[in-house]
Amino acid sequence: MVVFWSLAALMVLAALAFVLVPLLRARPSAAPTVVEANLEVLRGQRREIEADVANGILPADAKDEALAELVDRAQGDLAPPAETPPVAARRPWIAAAVASVAVPAIAFGLYLAVGTPGAADSARVGHEGAPMSPQQIVAMVENLSKKVHERPDDVQGWALLARSMAALGHFPQASEAYEHLMKLTPDDPQVLADYADTLGMAQGRSLAGRPMELVAKALAMDPHQPKALALAGTAALDTGDFRQALGYWETLAGDLPAGSEDRTRVEAIIGEVRERATAAGKPLPAAATAAAPAPSAAGASVTGSVSVAPALAGGVDRAATLFVFARAENGPRIPLAVVKAPAAALPMEFTLDDSQAMAPNLKLSGAKAVRIEARISRSGNAMPQSGDLVGTSGVVKPGTRGVRVVVDKVVP
């Protein structure tokens, strides 16, 4: 901003120079002097005498006498006045002063009226032209906090402060803001769910206690509140109540548009819930909407083997978990069929079919082309993690036999 105004001032000074320098430059007076005026008169009288002689008005012998009288008079008229001081050239100081004030005033006045002074603001340029720094964001949130504490009834302000604090990871401060916001909007299930989520983060990612009380209250107001359902399903899964967790997640999945990314993610979680339940010896019954396998379903299965590349064989943890699954080549990323086994079983033969589907509407028999993937997970988690070993087959059609999958890569 300083550079901009400095350049503007220099340009105004340059414009003034073009106006004032010619205006103030000393110029000789254009009026004739007294001597010059007298000389011009005498020359005219001489021309008149010569014209009179030529026209016969004045006798020729009288010409010399008339010229002599003219010469005598010229000696007095052409003598310079000794006491007359030279006239100094006049300079237009008043006009110069007016110009020096008017030019900058008009220039800056027009800019402020029709220009964009705010464009030179370095702070605004920084905000609009480039991403804000973390320090600037924190300063803005702190300023917001001061303002909303001065306006305790500002619902939108407190909601913005709570979300901002949570986004910054300041969960204790976010929880305090949500507590205040909940008092302002006690019947809003979304606020209750957001408060429960933030409070759970503040107490070490645990939903036990007050967070679950808030979730239960939110679901009592709205049984289909999305975040409350997700939090309830997560809490039930953490406590090992797989059946209840499945109920919450299936309710949420039914509320989401078919084929949407959110629906696909939830269906993947449902598959993980079923998988964890089976691993814990508590298999869950198939969904009531699941159709019985068609007679041709067995023909849509894929069989093959999984082995580990020699370069990675020495690094395989025998206590790790092996996942083998089929994924549609073009379609949702949720696996169509999954087999789980200990890594100690490698090399291993596998069979994938519709009985291992993770979602009732996504089956191996309904895909046109799939890839078979194998992953060795040290954590036993169904979601990929850094350090896992993976391998992928080429594209095959359901019903293919003898597919070979070699685990030859490490997840970065």
Q: What is the pLDDT of residue 58?
A: 59
Read off the tokens for 134: 């973390």
β-partners of residue 328 are 370
Q: Tell me: do 110 and 168 sit in the same domain.
A: no
pLDDT category at 88 given cuts 50, 70, 90 is very low
Structure tokens at 371: 């890839």
Are 233 and 110 contained in the same domain?
no
98 pLDDT more than 60: no
Look at 127-131, 142-146, 158-162 and tell me which has the smallest mean pLDDT: 127-131
Position 8 in a domain:
yes
Q: Element (H or E) spanning 372, and its range?
A: strand 370-377
**Residue range 208-233: mean pLDDT, rounded:** 86
What's residue 412's pLDDT?
86
Q: Which two tokens stand for residue 392?
A: 């992928």
Residue 81 sits in the same domain as residue 188? no
If asked whether residues 138 and 274 sit together in one domain, one would say yes
Between CA 371 and CA 379, with CA 376 as vertex, the angle to 5 degrees is 130
Residue 24 lies in a domain: yes
Who has greater pLDDT, 35 or 230? 230
* Contact present, 232 and 215 (Cβ < 8 Å): yes
Q: Which residue has the tokens 């084929």?
A: 259
Domain final residue pick, 57, 86, 114: 114
Residue 300: which pLDDT band, with cuts at 50, 70 and 90? confident
* Domain count for the chain: 3
* pLDDT tens profile 15-39: 666 655 565 555 554 445 555 555 5
- CATH of residue 264's domain is 1.25.40.10
Mean pLDDT on 266-276: 88
Q: What is the mean pLDDT of the chain?
A: 75
pLDDT, tens only, 384-412: 788 899 999 999 999 999 999 999 999 88
Euclidean distance between the first and the last CA atom of the chain, given in angstroms as a whole number: 46
Both 151 and 217 in one domain: the answer is yes
Question: Above 60 in pLDDT, residue 166?
Answer: yes
Band (pLDDT 50/70/90 cuts) for residue 271 is: confident
Using CA atoms of 179, 183, 185, 186 in order, give the dihedral in degrees to the nearest 10. Answer: 100
pLDDT, one tens digit per residue, over 330-375 is 876 778 888 888 998 899 999 998 888 766 667 888 888 999 999 9
Sequence-distant (6+) residues with CB within 8 A of 281 are none
CA angle 173, 177, 183 (to 5 degrees): 150
pLDDT at 372: 94
> At which of 62, 83, 114 does a domain end?
114
pLDDT attached to residue 168:
78
In terms of domains, do 88 and 140 share one?
no
Is 245 among the domain residues? yes
pTM of full prediction above 0.85: no
What's the rounded Cα separation, in Å, for the pair 116 and 187? 46
Could you tell me which of 234, 270, 247 has the C-alpha nearest to residue 358?
270
Q: Is residue 284 part of a domain?
A: no
Answer yes or no: do 159 and 245 share one domain: yes
- Domain identity same for 145 and 273: yes
Kindly state whether residues 181 and 83 are assigned to the same domain: no
List the single range of 121-130, 303-312, 392-401 with lowest mean pLDDT.
Answer: 121-130
pLDDT at site 19: 57
Task: Report which of 182, 267, 163 is spatially closest to residue 221, judged by C-alpha positions.
Answer: 182
Residue 122 is assigned to a structural domain of this protein = no
Question: Is the pLDDT assigned to residue 135 strictly greater than 80?
Answer: no
Percent of the chain with pLDDT over 70: 63
pLDDT score at 75: 56
Confidence of residue 298 (pLDDT cuts 50, 70, 90): very low
Residue 287, domain member (yes or no): no
pLDDT, residue 238, reads 86
Residue 48 host element (H or E):
helix 34-54
More confident residue, 1 or 151: 151
Residues 71 and 176 reside in one and the same domain: no
The answer on 107 and 157 residing in a single domain is no
Task: Please identify, among 219, 248, 279, the residue that sits at the C-terminal boundary of a domain.
Answer: 279
Residue 190 domain boundaries = 134-279
Domain shared by 109 and 143, yes or no: no
